[in-house]
Amino acid sequence: MAAAAKLAVVRTTTTHHRACFPLAVSSATPVTVSLTSVTHKHEAATSAAATATAVMKTEGAVAPPTLGGRAEATSSFPLLASMWPEVHGADDWRGLVAPLHPLLRGEIVRYGELVAACYRAFDLDPRSKRYLNCKHRKRQMLQAVGMDGAGYAVTKYIYAAAPDAVAALPPVGAGAGRRPSCCKSRWIGYVAVASDGEAARLGRRDILVSFRGTVTWSEWLANFMSALAPARFDPAEPRPDVRVESGFLSLYTSEDVSGKFTTGSCRNQLLSEISRLVAEHRDEDVSITLAGHSMGSSLAILLAYDLAELGLNSYPNDSGTIPVTVFSFAGPRVGNLEFKNRCDELGVKVLRVVNVNDPVTKMPGVLFNESASVLAGRYELPWSKACYAHVGVEVALDFFEAGDIVCVHDLQAYIDQLLNSMVGEEEEVMCRRVASMFESWRWQMAVIRAGELMRVLGI
């Protein structure tokens, strides 16, 4: 009841808030999987998955399915259903990150593929009547992008309003007046819910929100609006010290009243749909999973904070709290240290998958970030509230290809790295890990920390 009341208030007060949101750094030591180059070796990935499957079968497990025509690294065997709270961060992924547990790796890849579906479904043809929207209807979308076996039903498309690229530019010339504000909605992602069969495999009914990253010029403009602004999501307790990046907040809260496919802010669309699905599945175990790439990961973290702050991740009649987990790919920082601390207090779990060579993951806050806000790890400095901070636990990849520099930020390259890390020189080690996964997961990988000082300094 209280959550519903807060949602009603939100719908009348959210449009004009602007802020920034953070990606957080946790105390967990990042794990660096070092690979020399990015190669799209689907055959190698398939071979690795097959090897893992063979070992799993010796343990009485069920073979993993295929997703989108490629061998899926996720595990379908019964262990996932019993272990899903830990895989979704119930214990902050302790013992699962160093080294990376196959179950966790599989879930990361699975959610990464569900985010990649946003890119494949986004219509970038200016001649199309669905330009800057999804190419397909909800019922056919996952099937149309080659993910018919994903096990989810899309329930709603999500649109975010960004300032028009021309209107956002400053006026030029003598007597030039202020350009009128103009926000246009673009398809940004979708909400989906696990089918009965997938819910049985996962051990709960999973509500998924998947966000794409930056594509249009107006979204790039929003990304560069890096001033921190109060989020103020809970009207009863605005928390002015909790600040987030204003460009991301604008995408999240702005409205396009003349939208072709929808009206209302991205925020209200999401809060309304998630609340509806929670009520619909109130008698089941439910999880809320938010996944996004680049700018989309920032929206996912902002939504996670919003849900938890308003208490909308609660079962009806206050019968318990629904876990909220973010799988972030190549995400920037979202807010300040107060935002990070508040996310921790609310139990928001964020797993950040980053490439150490990806500059986007170091912004905003290249200089003023979590490392510059506290002295000797104990004393808060006067400018700490103006410093950005990452939220969550980091899984660090290390890849770079001189002939394709942009690959350092490409989502498919991230997914391929997670798959290809199971082959080549590491194949034998990975097989041993899978074979002994029920016995011990304390065997440590060599943690590559070279370059940490440069990252801390924001260079």
Question: Where in the sequence numbering do the catalytic residues fall?
Answer: 294, 358, 409
Six token digits for residue 447: 């943690």
Six token digits for residue 371: 């490392």
